[in-house]
Amino acid sequence: MTAPVREQVPPEQWRERVRRARDDGFSYFDWLGGVDEIGRSGTLRVVLMLRDLDRPGAPPLLLLTDVPRERPQLDSIGALFPGAGWHEREAAELFGVEFVDGDPRRLLLDPSYVGTPLRKDEVLGARAGVSWPGAKEPGESGAPGRRRMVPPGVPDPAVWGDRAASEAPADAAEVAESTVAGRVRRR
């Protein structure tokens, strides 16, 4: 498999660059998704994979653009590739990216759900409040074992939750850094 050709595109040129790629033969929409760049930059990355099916063996085209976390907006490419509409709706729900002129309806999450569950600074409260599913965690079998570890996605209570009222709320980067798995659960 040939490695894709990667191209960084400024957000204001997104729709036009995708249109040019389509007109240059990359007429097969493969997928569109999001990446949270927290800890590296203050952006969310939108990634688009296009293919040229008329040139077997040609590398796919990977277009990337970064939108600011505070107001992530990007022009919709649904008019260029109708299949992109589903992917844009998914990225809108899960990452909070607004696709201008795109379909704003919910796709996966309950209409009452508030949040962006695939952003790294999103607190997954259920992970802290509900027993971890699957096989027994160390120490849950009743037999002596290792100390209980915090599952992935649960922020450190010193960063989120147990802060004194006089302290400022944690910023997104601080919360994301504290969600590393393998921390010993405090009692």
Length of the chain: 187
pLDDT value of residue 52: 96
Distance in angstroms (rounded) separating the CA atoms of residues 6 and 69? 22
pLDDT value of residue 122: 83
Residues 94 and 134 placed together within one structural domain of the fold: no
Q: Is 19 helix (H, G, I), strand (E, B) or coil?
A: helix
- Is residue 46 scored above 60 in pLDDT? yes
Residues 90 and 140 placed together within one structural domain of the fold: no
Q: What's the whole-number average pLDDT of the chain?
A: 84
**What percent of the chain has a predicted confidence (pLDDT) above 70?**
76
pLDDT value of residue 176: 72
pLDDT value of residue 148: 61
Question: What's the pLDDT tens digit per position in 128-147?
Answer: 565 655 555 555 555 445 55
Query: Structural domain tally of the chain?
Result: 2
Q: Give a yes or no: residue 115 inside a domain.
A: no
Residues 11 and 89 placed together within one structural domain of the fold: yes
Distance in angstroms (rounded) separating the CA atoms of residues 22 and 36? 26
User: Which domain covers residue 127, as residue numbers?
Assistant: 120-187
Residues 90 and 19 placed together within one structural domain of the fold: yes
pLDDT value of residue 165: 72
pLDDT value of residue 142: 52
Q: What is the CATH number of the domain that holds 58?
A: 3.30.460.80
Neighbour-count burial of 142, counting CB atoms closer than 10 A to its CB (0-12 exposed, 13-18 middle, 19+ buried): exposed
- Is residue 73 scored above 90 in pLDDT? yes
Q: Give a yes or no: residue 142 inside a domain.
A: yes
Question: In this predicted structure, which of 85-89, 147-151, 154-158 has the lowest mean pLDDT?
Answer: 147-151
Question: What's the pLDDT tens digit per position in 100-119?
Answer: 999 999 988 888 888 898 99
Residue range 180-187: average pLDDT?
56
Residues 78 and 21 placed together within one structural domain of the fold: yes
The larger pLDDT score, comparing residue 183 to residue 68, is at 68
Distance in angstroms (rounded) separating the CA atoms of residues 121 and 174? 8
Q: Give a yes or no: residue 110 inside a domain.
A: no
Under the banding of pLDDT at 50, 70 and 90, the label for residue 90 is very high
pLDDT value of residue 159: 74
